[in-house]
Structure 1
Amino acid sequence: METTPSQINKQLEDPLTGEIILLNTCTRDAVTTFPSMEEKYISGYFTYIPEPAALNELQSLLKSKTIIIVLGTWCGDSREQLPYF
């Protein structure tokens, strides 16, 4: 299924909570500056130091690969783990 420009970074009000959420395909900038994600992203991304040995092992495995992250802007686990990824 192809994403049209109007679906990228689409915002929607969650009918159960009234919270604005991101939906469909989103850019990194949209996710990392989205109000419910921004605070955790800023504090986690800039302080996280990945393990060098793990990075070396992953580097060769990830050549020619595309990684798709599926997350929820309303999800505490997504808010916590995205900066480290």
Structure 2
Amino acid sequence: MVKKNFVLGLILAIIFMGCTMLPKKTYKIVKDKNGKDIAVGIIPEKDLLREFPSFSAQYKAFVPDSNAVAYLSHFKKPVKVLVFLGTWCPDSRREVPRFLKALAKAHNPSSIAVKLIAVNRSKIDAENLSKKYKITRVPTFVVFSNQSEVGRIVEYPKVSMEGDFVKILKTIH
């Protein structure tokens, strides 16, 4: 009987520990003023592509420029990119998946770190990062090297998403 209670207690402890050790969700899906689901907060790429089919469709359809992908795959200096996006925004639904696809094709996560920050229609996120970085339009890609901002792509690229990103990276010494 004691052995049976011990085993039951052990199983319950393992289940409880497993539940408390699950990663905390860093974003929420909320309804906007039009009743549509939007994300707010820091959202992992896999969740963005799973929860919002328009992002996934654009990601699957896009073929990035091979020269830009080659440059990105060999880029060695560590950079961080904060991507402010609106899941409700047509420009975000077009440009963010293109950016993510170019990075995926480059296979260089050790040098290029990306954080996706979903904002509501008022450009507000749960962490107030949009306010800190003075975000007024989405998508906005803020690129950092050595903790200093080195460039931005705001709303849409001048040439192409991956081409404009490469141009920013070429300014880093």
C-alpha separation between the residues in 1 aligned to 2:55 and 2:38? 16
Give secondary structure in 1 for the equivalent of 2:29: strand
Q: Which of these two proteins has the greater Rg computed from alpha carbons?
A: 2
Give the 5 Å matches for 1:6-45.
8-14=26-32, 16-34=33-51, 37-38=52-53, 40-45=54-59
Shift of 1:62: 6.4
Q: Which runs of 5+ in 2 are unaligned?
A: 1-23, 100-173
The question of 1:73 aligning with 2:91 is answered: no
- How big is each residue's C-alpha offset from its partner over 1:9-55, in whole Å with a ceiling of 9 and x where there is no partner? 212221x2111210011111221112xx31x3333222322212222
Cα pair 1:13 1:19 within 8 Å, conserved:
yes
- Structure with more contact order per residue of length (Cα contacts < 8 Å, sep ≥ 6): 1
1:82 maps to: 96
- Identity of aligned pairs, percent? 25
Q: Which runs of 5+ in 1 are unaligned?
A: none
TM-score between the two structures when normalised by the length of structure 2: 0.38
Cα separation, partners in 2 of 1:72 and 1:43, compared to 1, 3 Å: same
Cα pair 2:58 2:97 within 8 Å, conserved:
yes
Structure having the higher strand fraction is: 2
C-alpha separation between the residues in 2 aligned to 1:62 and 1:48? 25
Cα separation, partners in 2 of 1:62 and 1:80, compared to 1, 3 Å: farther
TM-score between the two structures when normalised by the length of structure 1: 0.69
Aligned CA RMSD, in angstroms, stands at: 2.1
